[in-house]
Chains A and B, each alone.
Chain A
Amino acid sequence: MLFIVPFAIAALIFMVYPVAEAVRLAFYDHNPLRPDASEFIGLENFRTIFADPLFWQSFRQAAIWTFASIVLQTVIGVALALLLHLPLRGISIFRGLLLFPYIVPTVVIALILQWMLNAEIGVVNWSLRGAGVIDDNVYWLATPSMAMLSTILLNVWKYTPFVTICVLARLQTIPLELYDAAKVDGAGALRRFVDITLPQLAEVLVVVVIFRTIWTFNKFEEIYLLTKGGPGTSTFNLAIYSFEQSVANLKMGVGAATGVVMMMLLFAGSLLYMRVFRFAEDDSA
């Protein structure tokens, strides 16, 4: 019982207090350079963000970014898991490599992508030109739509393996008898995939998609390190909006209010998750 005490103390200082403080700040006008002039202003910060076109732009861009990333991650991730599930020789080498992108620091992949996607001297433009795909250099990080695409690519590169590993683990538990029975009944490969594999995967896919959506929506470093939210504000999401309000505009209250909105969305997502799985119930074991 005493063993819980350090956790309780640490949780209070490092988890509960910061979150409570973040919520409190959202109702204050707080300038980090003049902390004594902090003042309670009620819902004013929320009014500010909801009236700010940039907030809604960031929201929209975050939604696009998240949606595109999740769709690509899920489709590629499942396809890869199905491939890795095939009984091929030497396939365990690939399975081992899968986790690699996850351990590469976001800073590192962002630096490398800035170098590879460099418009003038980057290897990507050079290869695409050589292959005849493009005639002129693509300004990957300097045009809004391409910058968005680049951040999506970074995200997909780094987190698709997560989907693959979760799906692969589930695939390995599908009883083979199901497939044998279907084969006897004359079901083709596609039929077996649609009727057996997909329903079996449905549950893990829902979990993975909800979790990845929540996390992707709130990502900061994956975008900030590659484009700083730019060019202009074309790759801002809510996390970057909140950061810029707090750091560049010195409006910690506005930044915190954005954080509160993000938290509400997150809790809505988590509730959805718990609703789907009635998660607390299986705790009786």
Chain B
Amino acid sequence: MKVFDLIRSALAWLTLLLVTFLMCFPLIWAMSTSVKPPKDVMATPPRVIPQEFTIENYRNLITGKQQYFRADQAYVPTTSAPQHFTSWFANSVIVSVGSTAISIVISTLAAYSVTRFRYRGRRIIPYFSLLGYMIPSIILVFPMFMVMSELRLTNTLWSLTFGYVSITLPFSMWLLWAFFRGIPVELEEAAMIDGASRLRVFIDIVLPSALPGIIAAAIFSLIVSWNDFLFARVFINSIENLPLTVGVMHFFEGVHVDWGLMMASAVLMTVPMAVLFMLMQRHLVAGFGAGAVKG
């Protein structure tokens, strides 16, 4: 029986290692490609551990140096260059943080309102949000584009910030509603009997106890807006206003696709999310539990 258990554990471990490998290999391969010098990128046999190590691709992305490599393995300047990479990165940060801030503030207030006050229609709001977040972006994107044209916001970062609110607000609302519902009101009532104002109670008692839910909603908002491609593809038409996801597609426009540069940008695009992920893992799982996942 002991031996059987041992074999079973070993098998389970092996399977899990294999799954983990499959899960992580694309990223490992991207990292490996991104630090290879041009002559090794397409070399056979492909090696996971690079023979030679270079940070040239990253340097080009960050300094915007117009270097691409040609089939004869020399770096040459080409037309589609990485000089916009840093602005794309900044744009991505601005719109993700902006839309997350807006939807978190609005949905925190709203979730508090529907769970603590009694008025007609308050029951319907969370379900209305749930329905809202099930509607796919492809249906929202063109009408939103027309709204943005009316407001004369197309081709600005504002259009993206607001555009993402249409995705992140409904699910933040749904998640925070589920979360606020679970916070007992007795403490708040006690504080109010002691003479604390509604606002004081909200800031001193409600917000701290809702913090884990707020963090989870914020992380999911950040992920969704950081990863979006469709809204940016439709809303923005000047190259310097693009976020990363649409921007890097311009790297396909050269005569040769520079896979080293491409993989370096893929890695850099993942880093902020990976950092967030490592810092906030616990909260992410909590968010999954509350059903906040749009995917």
Contacts and interface: CB of A to CB of B under 8 A. Distances in A.
A99 B269 contact: no
A112 B29 contact: yes
B26 A14 contact: no
A49 interface: no
Contacts of B245: 105, 107
A262 B13 CA distance: 42
Given A6-B106, A243-B138, A256-B142, A107 B269 contact: yes
Given A6-B109, A112-B30, A220 B138 contact: yes
Contacts of B105: 6
A220 B24 contact: no
B142 A270 contact: no
Interface in B167-212: 169-170, 173
A11 B169 contact: yes
A21 B143 contact: yes
Contacts of B46: 123, 126
Interface string A142-170: 00000000000000011101100110010
Interface in B1-58: 9, 12-13, 15-16, 19-20, 22-24, 26-27, 29-30, 33, 42, 44-46
Given A7-B110, A10-B106, A259 B229 contact: no
B139 A259 contact: yes
A263 B135 contact: yes
Contacts of B239: none
Contact of A100 (B112, B170, B248, B277): B277
A283 interface: yes
A19 interface: yes
A247 to B, nearest CB: 8
A249 to B, nearest CB: 13
A14 B144 contact: yes
Contacts of B227: 105-107
Contact of B135 (A19, A88, A165, A256): A19
Interface residues of A, number: 78
Q: Which bracket fits the contact residues of B?
A: 35 or more
Given A4-B109, A165-B288, 13 more contacts: A7-B109, A15-B170, A84-B16, A97-B20, A104-B273, A107-B229, A108-B269, A111-B263, A123-B46, A215-B134, A220-B136, A239-B136, A262-B136
B140 interface: yes
B123 A283 contact: yes
B276 A15 contact: no
A265 to B, nearest CB: 11
A99 B281 contact: yes
Interface string A31-53: 00001000000000000000000
Interface in B231-278: 234, 244-245, 248-249, 259, 262-263, 265-266, 269-270, 273-274, 276-277
Contacts of A88: 9, 12-13
A97 B293 contact: no
Interface in A217-276: 218-221, 224-225, 239, 242-243, 246-247, 252, 255-256, 259, 262-263, 266, 270
A259 B44 contact: no
B26 A116 contact: yes
B44 A126 contact: yes
B74 interface: no
Contacts, number: 216
B262 A14 contact: no
A18 B143 contact: yes
A13 B129 CA distance: 14
Nearest to B22: A157
Nearest to B249: A107
B147 A108 contact: no
A108 B265 CA distance: 9
B277 to A, nearest CB: 5
Interface in A190-207: none
B106 A99 contact: no
Given A3-B110, A6-B110, A121-B42, A108 B229 contact: no
Contacts of B110: 3-4, 6-7
Contacts of B244: 107
A2 B90 CA distance: 35
A245 to B, nearest CB: 10
A228 to B, nearest CB: 11
B22 to A, nearest CB: 8
A56 interface: no
Contacts of A3: 109-110, 112-113, 117
Contact of B285 (A7, A165, A218, A224): A165
Nearest to B229: A221
Contact of A166 (B269, B274, B288): B288
16 contacts: A3-B112, A4-B109, A13-B147, A14-B166, A18-B147, A19-B143, A84-B16, A88-B13, A99-B285, A106-B227, A106-B229, A111-B248, A111-B266, A123-B46, A256-B143, A259-B138
